[in-house]
Structure 1
Amino acid sequence: MFKKVIKLFICRAGIFTGLLCVSVIFLATGAKIKDNPQPKILTEDMSKGSIQVVMTIDPAEIHLDKDAILTLKITSPSEIEVKMPDLEDRLIGFIQNGKLDKEPATHAGKTVYERQLLLSPVISDEYRLSPFPVTYVDKSKTPAETSWFPSKPVNFDIAPVIRGNVEKDIEVSMKPVWIYPPFKTVASYVVIFISAIILLMIAWKLFKRVRREIQLLRMSPKERALEELAELLAKDLVTKNLVKEFYVELTMIVRRYIEREHSIRAPEQTTEEFLDAVSNDQRFSREIITRLKTFLEAADLVKFAAYHPESDAITRATATAKDYVETDSAEGKVRQAAKGGNN
Structure 2
Amino acid sequence: MMVPVRHIHRLILTVLLTLAVLSGCGPVEKQGGPHDGGIDRSYSQPPITLMLSTDKSEMATVEKLYFSLHVLYPEDYEIKMPTEEDELDKFRILSVRDFPQKLTGDQLLESRRDYVLEPFLAGEYLIPKIEVAYGKKSEQIKLAQVIASEPITIRVNSLFADDQELKLHDISGPLSLPHDLRGLTKRLLSVLLILLALVGLVLLIIKRRADKKAIPAVIPAHRQAFNELDKLWQENKTGKISVKEFYYKISMILRCYIENRFGLRAPEQTTEEFIAAIVWDTLLLTRQKEILKEYMKRCDMVKFAEVRPSHDDVLMAYETCRGFVVETMVNDSAKENAQDAV
TM-score range, shorter chain: 0.3 to 0.5
The two structures have a TM-score, normalised by structure 1, of 0.36
Which structure has more helix as a fraction of its residues?
1
The two structures have a TM-score, normalised by structure 2, of 0.36
